């Protein structure tokens, strides 16, 4: 069933609140968050998870998406430090295990739409058992 957003939400400038309410109601979740961009969502996650700590990410994923704020700038604004692991072409689970410390807050993986690494099939990342 398609969602119908009332025209008044567009006119009142309250589209975010309307979509947030629809997501929460239709997903059965207690709450939902809607962000205006990937940068805003990433910043919010970094502030919530990693302020004052480090984030591990594969070296091949630090490339900048020209349509978004750089990951370095977002991490800096969140008070987090980025720590690259592995190589540009391949990162294995052991790379994350060696890099992990008591100051590590999370592992971040970014999928860019267009980049030399993504166009070549993306970095080879480890399979994680779930």
pLDDT computed for residue 84 by the predictor? 92
pLDDT computed for residue 127 by the predictor? 59
Alpha carbons 70 and 42: distance in angstroms, whole number: 11
Alpha carbons 61 and 88: distance in angstroms, whole number: 8
Exposed/middle/buried for residue 67 (C-beta within 10 Å: 0-12, 13-18, 19+):
exposed
Least confident piece of the model among 11-15, 23-27, 43-47, 48-52: 11-15
Question: Rounded mean pLDDT of 10-23?
Answer: 69
* Segment 57-106, tens digit of pLDDT: 988 777 766 777 888 899 999 999 999 999 887 888 899 999 999 999 99
The answer on pLDDT for 129 being more than 70 is no
The answer on pLDDT for 126 being more than 70 is no
pLDDT computed for residue 20 by the predictor? 77
- Identify the band that residue 56 occupies on the pLDDT scale cut at 50, 70 and 90: very high
- From the CB of residue 29, how many other CB atoms can be counted at a distance below 10 Å? 9
Among candidate residues 96, 98, 117, the one with its CA nearest the CA of residue 107: 96
């Amino acid at each position: 069933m398609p969602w119908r957003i009332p025209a008044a939400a567009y006119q009142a400038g309250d589209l975010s609140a309307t979509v947030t309410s629809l997501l929460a109601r239709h997903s059965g979740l207690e709450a939902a968050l809607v962000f205006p961009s990937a940068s805003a969502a990433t910043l919010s996650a970094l502030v919530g998870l990693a302020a004052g700590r480090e984030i591990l990410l594969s070296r091949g994923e630090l490339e900048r998406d020209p349509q978004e704020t750089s990951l370095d700038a977002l991490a800096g604004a969140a008070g987090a430090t980025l720590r690259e692991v592995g190589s540009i072409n391949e990162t294995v689970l052991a790379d994350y295990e060696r890099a992990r410390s008591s100051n590590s807050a999370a592992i971040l993986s970014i999928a860019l739409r267009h980049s030399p690494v993504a166009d070549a099939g993306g970095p080879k990342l480890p399979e994680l058992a779930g």
